[in-house]
Chain A
């Protein structure tokens, strides 16, 4: 129960949620709700894992994982952007589809050991007391990529011209269209970006954080937690990072609580009867709901909400609201 170990491991586990949450956040900022996160993550986890196995190159695995997640997301893009299908149902079917395809192609991958993404220290920063051992030592390269993604996503969304277009097509697509922004093309693009990041999140599990392919257990519902975190984060990358790492540490802390025979000098009930662990395992799911309740209250107070056109298909020339 060393807090440094839990925080350290929490950052690694949280990186999975971070990639998925920021990807979904960007997609939703463009006005498209993609509930297929779990399916895209599983496809990414499977594709990355099997590519690394076949080529002995985990980096190529990451690329393939991102392309696989992105490719699957394009199915959602086509159906929701051009066919104007219901985004909720399309996202759900994407989950089925991704899970099924990942299971079919992942047959026989369990138990294999392909090369994984290397673990490194950041020279200099790692020697800072307390901060170094938690943030900059003995982490997968992907964890550091995650650190960079947070400010990059924030800066892109809030401070750049393409970021302004992204927000515009999610808030008022008809106005963006009038300004000469190609709403359809940009929406496809950001659905693809979200898919790539979801695929990366999946590969982060199978090639870095807990290497291996365990069929549907590989993601065990983290895609859905990420969708909850987007709402909790109020579509802001900084808040998304806080939520992701918090949940990562929580998932990790739950595992660690079941190990030691004594906790804080008392007998550990989880050690005596491991069945109590079932209640502990419920906490991330219950906390996701609680986070939504808190997020909803804060958002109501500050009048922040979802992007105005989220989930609404844009039909050019047919109506302007």
Chain B
């Protein structure tokens, strides 16, 4: 070779805009490579790209659907962020999601609360149960790592399969609705409020009056919100973002977590209880993923059923990494991936969205080298 690739270690820190630029560049390159592969197998990448964009962001209704997909992604993205901050590789958000959905559903299915309980009590109980379910599923690998130093990647992954099979047993066997692979629909008191729920009362109100207010509401297109399935879960997600940000960036515990992640030896000398923090971080991470499962059950499907997640837990890993473990950055990244999953459902070949996610993650970690090294060509 006439030229040699040389990596030169950076002496100074990179400017603050640099990580954003490399992230965006990585996503763009991933899209281009995926497009080329699509072209190679005889597809029409530009058509698909246009379809992707219209289906995900083309109208307010489409954007509402995208946000519905982004809601669980925000929560699992945060779940992975918390764990990765301590370099705990929780690959089990998928299983924790399913366990959260299962435990939340117990409130209605067992039932824990009488069927005529007020909505706020039912939803509150389901939130708590969902988080407990996820936390239990995070506790097991956390304990195994703290006590036996069992590799958490393997244990969380194996527990994903166990959680899905566990859910299937109850859906197929105990609570099957007339032999279908789903439970009966939950009562309305277990439904998270959706935007479309607001459309109806306003409509009734508008027919009776002809005021400036109604004309104004019509002019902004109030009827458009009917049919919008965006639900309260997105608010849970945004509140969780702030809480996780405070926990990780402002609290003493967050400092401990970051210290253990960066330098476990120093943390041990500083007298931090590493075993306890491993279990705690795994439980917090699991609880967030469990809340995502609860939000999906109460906000979208309104029952427990098979395949409630098209791999949200795994996408959460990519989201956390793309957001560089910054809780606020999780939101826009989750929206991008929400759109990708929404539009990807109807695109052939079916693996395209998955492949694109793979390329994005791969480009991101490759681009990290640019943050640490200068690349130079020399003779």
Contacts and interface: CB of A to CB of B under 8 A. Distances in A.
A232 to B, nearest CB: 10
Contacts of B161: 221, 282, 285
A92 B80 CA distance: 13
B162 A106 contact: no
Interface stretch (B123-131, B146-154, B215-223): B146-154
Contact of B351 (A84, A104, A281, A285): A104
A288 B357 contact: no
Nearest to B147: A293
A289 interface: yes
A100 B354 contact: yes
B365 A85 contact: yes
B168 A278 contact: yes
Interface in B297-330: 314, 317-318, 321
A297 interface: yes
Contact of B157 (A102, A106, A224, A282): A224
A96 B314 contact: yes
Contacts of A101: 37, 351, 355, 358
A84 B375 CA distance: 14
A288 B162 CA distance: 11
A288 B355 contact: no
Contacts of A275: 169, 172-173
A276 B168 CA distance: 10
Given A79-B365, A83-B369, A103-B350, A293 B148 contact: yes
Contacts of B199: none
Contacts of B89: 88
A184 to B, nearest CB: 12
A228 B91 CA distance: 14
Q: Of residues A225, A275, A288, which shows the largest number of chain B Cβ atoms within 10 Å of its Cβ?
A: A275
Interface residues on B, range: 35 or more
A97 to B, nearest CB: 3
Contact of B317 (A78, A92, A276): A92
Interface in A54-106: 75, 78-79, 82-86, 88-90, 92-106
Contact of A288 (B158, B349, B365, B368): B158
B273 interface: no
Interface in A243-289: 273, 275-276, 278-279, 281-282, 285-286, 288-289
B166 A89 contact: no
Contacts of B361: 89, 92-93, 96-97
Ordered nearest first, which 10 A-B pairs have the shortest CB separation?
A103-B351, A100-B355, A97-B358, A96-B358, A100-B354, A93-B361, A275-B173, A107-B349, A83-B369, A278-B169
